[in-house]
Amino acid sequence: MEKVIITGGTGAIGHQLTKLLVAHFYEVIIFTRNPKSHAVQPHVRYVHWDPSKKEIDAKSIQEADYIINLSGANLNAKRWTKAYQQEIITSRVDSGQLL
């Protein structure tokens, strides 16, 4: 079974993508800041990561066949001020660099 890491897998898109991948016989590893807060599911594993603190599960990276990076600040959470636009950009750049 091939393994796919999804960062941002607990969001709306990540949740639907996880269901689709599991239905097509992939194992999904979801990187999240709080893995213990998610229910156990067949073929889905939650592991800790925190891009702002540069924390990542290196073992899971080595296991993965694919990585899908959906993480970053929520695009609909706030008004897009200059400061929030910078937060959106920084959150995506930081997570990409850590991966």
CA distance 80 to 99: 26
Which residue range forms the structural domain that includes residue 8? 3-98
pLDDT range class, residue 75, cuts 50, 70, 90:
confident
CA distance 18 to 59: 20
pLDDT in tens, 57-73: 999 999 999 999 999 88
pLDDT range class, residue 30, cuts 50, 70, 90:
very high
Average pLDDT over residues 20-30: 97
pLDDT range class, residue 82, cuts 50, 70, 90:
very high
- 44 pLDDT exceeds 90? yes
HSE, side-chain direction, 13 A CA sphere, residue 10: 18
Whole-Å CA distances, 97 to 49, 50, 52, 70: 13, 12, 11, 13
Q: What is the CATH number of the domain that holds 31?
A: 3.40.50.720
The tally of domains found in the chain comes to 1
